[in-house]
A and B are shown apart, each in its own frame.
Chain A
Amino acid sequence: MTAGDLLFQAPLFQVPNLVLAALMYTLLGRYVLSLFFPPDSDKVIWRAFRGLTDWVVRLVGRITPKLIPVNLLVLFAAVWLLMLRVALFLGFGLLGLLPKVTG
């Protein structure tokens, strides 16, 4: 069974899982970039990472005390997304809807 087969076997789980994973890695990438770029940089890569993740950071900012600076908020958002992925995995696992990998 290939990875592609797995994706089509359980799209209800795999599609949100892939989206959450992509967002999580983009947030981690944004954090690494924030070490090299100023917050108002007009470089395309920085604007692209910010454009893709700003809404998640804003959303996480609503459930995080204002004391936390934006750069740390980016890391916090990545951890929230990981927790969401774990919750998704557990939820689908409990419902027996996780794809089965056979050897």
Chain B
Amino acid sequence: MSTNDKDKPGHGEGETPEERTEIMRRDGLMIGIAVLSLLNGMQFSPFIDPAFIVLRPFAPTFFVSSPLLMFYLTSLLLGVASLLISGVAAALFERATGRGETDSTSMMVWLGAAFVVALPSILALLGLSG
């Protein structure tokens, strides 16, 4: 890609091709992290039933009375919790290496941690869990 490509419509101003590649790579990694995190909130996840039971006493604090809504809330919370817990590894990596911002390497760490957190759900999805 030549440097003149920057002037074409659809490209951010002042971004080099390397920066654009980095942004696209980060977007792809973000989608992967989101998908892996969402897996933990799916109905086949081994975490969904225990989480549903544990969160039941907290349902009134969210003004939720319907079991169906509670199921959706449990699914959402499990997905977000997986995202947050796997993000801890990336955050610690960023601080340990003195990174000023999240780059694709630390997002790969995040993706790896998300994979580990989602592993029981992946195994359940593939029918490989005991």
Chain A interface (Cβ < 8 Å from any Cβ of B): 21, 62-68, 76, 79-80, 82-83, 85-86, 89-90
Contacts and interface: CB of A to CB of B under 8 A. Distances in A.
A66 B100 contact: yes
Given A21-B61, A85-B58, A90-B54, A67 B80 contact: no
A85 B55 CA distance: 10
A89 B54 contact: yes
B76 to A, nearest CB: 10
B24 interface: no
B102 A66 contact: yes
A3 B94 CA distance: 45
Contacts of A21: 61
B101 to A, nearest CB: 5
> Lowest 7 A-B CB distances belong to which pairs?
A67-B102, A65-B102, A65-B90, A63-B88, A66-B102, A63-B91, A65-B91
B116 interface: no
7 contacts: A63-B88, A64-B87, A68-B87, A76-B84, A80-B84, A82-B58, A89-B57
SS class, residues of chain B in contact with chain A: helix
A85 B77 CA distance: 13
Interface of B: 26, 54-55, 57-58, 61, 77, 80-81, 84, 87-88, 90-92, 94-95, 99-102, 106-107, 110
Of A80, A85, A86, A89, chain B has the most CB atoms within 10 Å of the CB of A86
B92 A63 contact: yes
Nearest to A61: B91
A79 B128 CA distance: 31
Contact of A86 (B58, B84, B107): B58
Nearest to A79: B80
Contacts of A65: 87, 90-91, 94, 102, 106-107, 110
Nearest to A76: B84
B100 A82 contact: no
A16 to B, nearest CB: 15
